[in-house]
Amino acid sequence: MDTERYLEPHQARQRPPTTFEDLLGDAIERAFAEGIHELPNLVKYLNESGLSGAGGEPWTEQNFSALMARLGN
């Protein structure tokens, strides 16, 4: 019998998400729910949402992309 294998997303975690990561994920989900999918518009949405970047700085395409790359590893 051939069973399809899959990975539950939480199985790949190295550690629990931080509060900042949870808040960022929630903000990204709200943006997607509003139909925002392009990076410039997502960055604008994050800045308007009041959630600052990891160091308290405004979001830019560069620091958002860098953070996503880091969190993806």
Residue ranges of the domains in the chain?
37-73
Of the pLDDT bands very low, low, confident and very high (cuts 50, 70, 90), residue 35 is very high
- The CA-based angle 71-68-48, given to 5 degrees, is 125
Q: For residues 43 and 60, what is the distance between their CA atoms, to the nearest angstrom?
A: 6
Between 4 and 33, the higher pLDDT residue: 33
User: Residue ranges of the alpha helices (H) in the chain?
Assistant: 19-33, 39-49, 61-71
Q: What pLDDT is stored for residue 1 in this prediction?
A: 47
Q: For residues 28 and 57, what is the distance between their CA atoms, to the nearest angstrom?
A: 17
Q: Is this model's pTM higher than 0.95 or not?
A: no
Q: What pLDDT is stored for residue 16 in this prediction?
A: 87
